[in-house]
Structure 1
Amino acid sequence: MPNDRLRDALLRNGLTPTQLAAAIDVDPKTVERWITRGRTPYQRHRHAIAAMVRETESYLWPDAVAPERATEIAESEVVKVYPHRNSIPADLWDRLLNDAHEHVEVLSLAALFLVERPSFAKQLATKAKSGAKIRLLFGDPTAAEATKRSQEEQLDKDTVAARIRNALAFVRPLLKVPGVEIRLHGTTLYNSVFRFDDEMIVNTHVYGFPGAHAPALHLRRLSAGDLFETYSESLESVWRDATPYTG
């Protein structure tokens, strides 16, 4: 079976099979077999290729890492576990946002705690103008999920919808900034995801508890890891089905 993920990764990075072969010192026919026949490269080559195309080994070759080894790597991807999201130090959020230069992605319902920060929108605008890809996913305030979440948290039925509208007011100026995309989703969120390049905060959702009181994971992406990639693919799935926000 062809490895379409590898083929696509090379195209997105402007690399030909011949160029890849020269960079890692293998025969171009070997690279062609990796792509057209789905052959799995040696570990040293997988690592080099993943670094060149800025993807994880687990994404390019899902079956290459043994389950036992994948579990060990996943444990290493966890930087820290916080019992509550509001236990995360403010300076960690500052550092994650300041250090992000390629990707800032948010999947949440409102994330007011983040977007209402005085400099948040300005920082994202600056990063987008410098070439970063900014993607923000908020809950649709008119969707049934917003009402359901309010009820689950034992709040007035319009509370979450109001939070979302407040959050959208903070980020609305970003609609005019090239490189920033904002969409609305109506999905049931099992986790809120905040990605900053190769680091991520995953805020788990616990029935009956607001997000601030639910646990959170600080993850760092590893080339052969699967945990970071799982949450990233989840965000991607919601993004595909979401509706562009036009203000």
Structure 2
Amino acid sequence: MRYKKANSGHPGAPMGMADIAEVLWNDFLKHNPTDPTWYDRDRFILSNGHASMLLYSLLHLTGYDLPLEELKNFRQLHSKTPGHPEIGYTPGVETTTGPLGQGLANAVGLAIAERTLAAQFNQPDHEIVDHFTYVFMGDGCLMEGISHEVCSLAGTLGLGKLIGFYDHNGISIDGETEGWFTDDTAKRFEAYHWHVIHEIDGHDPQAVKEAILEAQSVKDKPSADYLPYGDWLWFAE
């Protein structure tokens, strides 16, 4: 309905990733709609920013200051629901995303910031900085060169509190991706020293929940000191 009124937009990713987002936001994401800038909130980054209606729907349904009327103004000038998320316009939006791959780089930076602040301020039995960074991304994000650079860095630094969700639907704005994107993406991320969870049914809430729990637990593996890693949830549409 919102896309029809705007006569533009990208409905595929919001619909395809809705079940994953529901589990993450309902069962895992640590945040406070009445205080969107709470310092120890989990960070959620929508790297495939063209899927902005998914984020706006989540913010509306979880109690942020984003009323239904703003959703009806999707992609309209001066609304709180622009075509791509923009920090400063919409409560709960962590960073501006749109250029594919940029949000992934932002997420890596936020995970580095969490680790740096935790090392500086946390004390035994008093962890005042302790949060995850979650990032959604699609095929287009991983075609961009920036994704190689930042994901290599994330693996090198062993950012165990960075968890990515890859919407591997094989479709882009130009059609099916098999003609120009044939990477074995899972092996690529394993080479970066990421922990890869393969082929999770993104429409099975229990499977999604178990995958997120596995990703969160990886940071405590004894091998973490020797094999730096991030976490990658591989969802097949």
TM range (shorter): under 0.3
Where is the helix percentage greater, Structure 1 or Structure 2?
1
Max Rg structure: 1
